[in-house]
Amino acid sequence: DSVKTFVVHLYRHIRDKNVYEIHQMYEGGFQRLSDRLFRDTPWPSAEAVAPYCDGDHVFLLLYRELWYRHAYARLSPLTASHRSESWNNYCDLFSVVLHGVVNMQLPNQWLWDMVDEFVYQFQSFCQYRAKLKNKTEDELQQLKQFDKAWNVYGVLNYLQALVEKSMIAQILEREKEGLESFTATDGYDYQGGSNVLKVLGYYSMIGLLRIHCLLGDYHTGLKCLAPINLNQQGVYTIVIGSHISTIYHYGFANLMMRR
């Protein structure tokens, strides 16, 4: 019943573009229910909650994003098939944002967490795949079966596509000339549009910096971050995780280049 109520309300708030309420449910409600009912068990599957959100395709992609994030945090060990399913869900979700018509406003916190989690799960999969010594025959078989999941080119391509399609670099450039108000509105769209693609594109620049740091290509990482002016407050400073990640990886990349 608690989950049913949660899904019904979250679905309604997303349809109404009520960012404040979505944020309350995302930050508060989801965590409280997880602590109370799903401390070490998964949330109900997307198929089980589908009747309470009119089977809405995009909402169920968002729900699965939360489902897998909770699984990564609370359930261990995760199988290769879980990891691969989470990858497929991100591919579907980002494809909808890139090629569909998205009419939602989501809290910056959630959009940052999406990019953050995407990079984290990539890193986690690489580490999982590298430790072959303790894997059973079945696990090794699964790894061979899901060899396309979390491919480094795929991860880079999605983040790069979000940056390009959102035209965020041009938006930030135009903002310097006073032609845009992206930072002034914290990335939200008060004209009835959607903030999802623009803000995902913005946070993807930080995601790209992180991945290039993991790969040891610090020069490219800093180039990806160049459109964001770190000498002043910006959308990256609103969400504490994004603020820390940006400054940490920016500092680390500069250190590694002996600047």
* Average pLDDT over all residues of the chain: 94
Alpha helices for 45-107 (secondary structure H): 46-49, 57-74, 80-99
pTM recorded for the entire structure: 0.95
What is the Cα Rg of the chain in Å?
Answer: 19
Instruction: Count the neighbouring beta carbons within 10 Å of the beta carbon of residue 152.
Output: 12
DSSP 192: S
DSSP 180: -
DSSP helix/strand/coil, 175: helix
Q: What is the pLDDT of residue 250?
A: 98
Tell me the per-residue pLDDT of 60-92, one tens digit each, with 9 for 90 and over: 999 999 999 999 999 978 888 999 999 999 999
First to last CA, the chain: 56
- The per-residue b/e assignment along 6-35, b for 16 or more CB within 10 angstroms, e otherwise, is bbebbbebbeebebebbbebbeebbeebbe
* Domain residue extents for the chain: 1-78, 107-258
Tell me the per-residue pLDDT of 143-201, one tens digit each, with 9 for 90 and over: 898 888 999 999 999 999 999 999 999 999 999 898 988 999 999 988 888 999 999 99
Q: What is the pLDDT of residue 2?
A: 92
Q: What is the pLDDT of residue 134?
A: 84
Please say if the pLDDT value at position 246 is more than 90. Answer: yes
Q: What is the pLDDT of residue 55?
A: 94
